Amino acid sequence: MTQLLNRLSLALAITLSTTPYAMAGPLNSMDDVGKALQACWTAPSGSQKSTVTLRFSFKRDGSLIGPPRTTAIDFEGNDAAARKSFVDAAISAVKDCTPLSLSPELAQGIGGQVFTMQFASPDACGGDCNREASVRPN
């Protein structure tokens, strides 16, 4: 019973914290996945013109296989704490946004594949990071 309540609480928290786009129904493409993950991302202050690329894999149920891993970081400045906060925010976005609701067709081919996605501060992506949100096979 406790596990069920925990799952329901998590599902509610994810639902309340995502944008209407992410809640629109099952995701049908990797572009949809990228937009849903991007909707969960907020760059922390002090991360101007910075990007981080993460690598991760999904199960067919839309949950992660292990934690996301950092593959590249381009961080403006020398503040180690701000750099860590920026990377941690991207990792948290992926963790907090999953499991994703995948269409049966997408779920069938997604399991176990390795994907990458770049997260950028708003000024690094020209203010329209959703336009550049893409999840790509690695």
43 assigned to some structural domain: yes
pTM, entire model: 0.76
> pLDDT tens for residues 75-127?
988 889 999 999 999 999 999 999 999 999 999 989 889 999 999 988 776 65
Which domain CATH number covers 51?
3.30.1150
The distance of Cα 115 from the centroid of its chain, to the nearest Å, equals 11
Separation between Cα atoms, residue 100 and residue 113, nearest integer Å: 15
Asked, for residue 16, whether it belongs to a domain, the answer is no
Residue 127 lies in a domain: yes
**Whether 81 contacts 17, CB under 8 Å:** no
- In the chain, how many domains are there? 1
Look at residue 4 and tell me if it is in a domain. Answer: no
Instruction: Specify the pLDDT at position 131.
Output: 52
Give the domain extent around 48: 30-137
Domain membership flag for residue 21: no
Residue whose C-alpha is closest to residue 96's, from 118, 68, 115 = 68
Burial call 23-60: b when 16+ CB within 10 Å, e when fewer:
eeeebeebebbbbbbbbbbebeebbeebbbbbebbbee
